[in-house]
Amino acid sequence: MICKCPKCDGALEYNPAYDKMECPYCGSAFTTHEAMAHQRLQDNAVKMTAPSANNNAPVGGWENNPYAQQTEPEQASTQAIDTNGRITMECNIYTCTACGAELAVNGVEASTFCAYCGQPTIVFSRVSHELMPKWVLPFRIQKDQAVNGIREKLNKGIFVPREIKNFEVEKVRGIYVPYFLFDVYYYDWQRLRGTVGSGKHKKTKYFIREAECEFKKLTCDASKQLNDESSQRLEPFDLRVIKPFEPGYLSGFYSDRYDLDDKQLTGVAIGRSKELFDREIVKSVSASNVHIVENNPKYQVRNAEYALLPAWFLTFRYKNEPYTMLVNGQTGKVVGAVPFDKTKLISMFVTLAVVSSIIFTILMSFLLSGNMDGDSVGDLITIIGAVGFFFYATGIGAFNSVRKNIELTKASRTAKFVRERQDDN
């Protein structure tokens, strides 16, 4: 998938800022179309060579040698038709020996660590024929912008440990995440129950909604490595500007391999259609506490197309646990929570607890020492108890929310994936 510079034969890289393929050696720039046209001419003229025997060496061994990079085996862009009549393309698959993640490394990109688990254990695995994506959404956010986005978020976090704030920029990697884009027709007849009015005028009302929706390019991520919750938080992608796939867009980036095909994702696509459809219907009802009490959905998956969508991955390790933060490669949306410095948090909690306890004790003493009768004291204690309960619920809810977000950031899915593979063996 490498594209060579027509002028100096250096490896071109896709520059999201200018939507062009640029040569880091001579500075020339070409449109993706021009670069690919040149590459096709080159491919016709020169027969591509097979991978050499030393390809099992870690990629990092040759990453600093541009000449070595240009002679490595990933220079294949050969297309073929598989037994199902689908167009495939030749890719070089790299495997992480620590977590089992498989990435198609494109262009001259080389890495000394796995984007999922952060371990320096990436090795070239094999050349593989992969289903050719129909669509690609090119990166719009450059690496610097992604890094700045992450830094801005991390610097705002007063409990974020310093070693995480000072993350290594080299560990931010651009990855095209595999998705299937589904066209789904969804129809439903629903009876909904809701509450209208307030106070004494509160009434339960029933509503009927009959509606249909043509979901176009509904995104379902096709990588087991990426948690569905995380990939959905990366959304939305503006797919109005998606482009027909050209291998040139991958130059300089990784692309994750899909390991869930369109058939396996059909249920997910229908589930997402239902979720989105129901949410819109509920929003259309002018009442509170709206629930669907009866429905009769009908749906049809009309089309599924393979696409690559862009994301920046920052992988870091903290206390021996891998964490991954994501940045939407089109919009710059940062996804992922980071672990917090427990010492700082406990210090703040204890200080606040001591100060507030003193203030509340003084306040309570003042109130109780006044001329209040027994009933008033009882009422006061009940009110303060309710406020206290609210505080506890708020605090515990906030901590739970952060804990859940941090769990998502932890690459536990990766570990599960490895275990599944081990079980298979």
Partner 1 sequence: MDQLFLIIAIAYGVIMGIGTALAITGIILKKSNKHGDSKGDLFDFNGTQVHYIRREQL
Side-chain-side CA neighbours of 344 within 13 Å: the count stands at 9
Give the dihedral of Cα atoms 49, 50, 55, 60; nearest 10 deg: 40
Cβ distance to partner 1 smaller for residue 81 or 354? 354
Q: Tell me how far apart the alpha carbons of residues 331 and 220 are, in angstroms, rounded to a whole number.
A: 18
Q: State the minimum distance, in angstroms, from the CB of residue 297 to partner 1.
A: 13
Cβ distance to partner 1 smaller for residue 103 or 334? 334
Contacts of 280 (CB under 8 A, 6+ apart): 213
Cβ distance to partner 1 smaller for residue 76 or 226? 226
CA distances from 100 to 128, 171, 331 (A): 16, 19, 29
Q: State the minimum distance, in angstroms, from the CB of residue 344 to partner 1.
A: 10
Q: State the minimum distance, in angstroms, from the CB of residue 225 to partner 1.
A: 18
Cβ distance to partner 1 smaller for residue 66 or 395? 395
DSSP three-state, residue 137: coil
Q: State the minimum distance, in angstroms, from the CB of residue 116 to partner 1.
A: 18
Q: State the minimum distance, in angstroms, from the CB of residue 263 to partner 1.
A: 22
Q: State the minimum distance, in angstroms, from the CB of residue 367 to partner 1.
A: 8
Tokens of 40: 């096709």
Cβ distance to partner 1 smaller for residue 216 or 421? 216
Q: Classify the phi-psi angles of 217: left when phi > 0, otherwise alpha if psi is within -120 to 50, otherwise beta.
A: left
Answer positive or negative: Cα dihedral of 329, 330, 336, 341: positive
CA distances from 154 to 18, 142, 150, 325 (A): 28, 18, 6, 11
Cβ distance to partner 1 smaller for residue 174 or 336? 336
Tokens of 354: 């001591």
Q: State the minimum distance, in angstroms, from the CB of residue 206 to partner 1.
A: 4
Q: Is 147 exposed, middle or buried (0-12, 13-18, 19+ CB in 10 A)?
A: middle
Cβ distance to partner 1 smaller for residue 9 or 407? 407
DSSP character string of 369-410: HSS--HHHHHHHHHHHHHHHHHHHHHHHHHHHHHHHHHHHHB
Cβ distance to partner 1 smaller for residue 12 or 338? 338
CA angle 60, 65, 145 (to 5 degrees): 70
Q: State the minimum distance, in angstroms, from the CB of residue 36 to partner 1.
A: 27
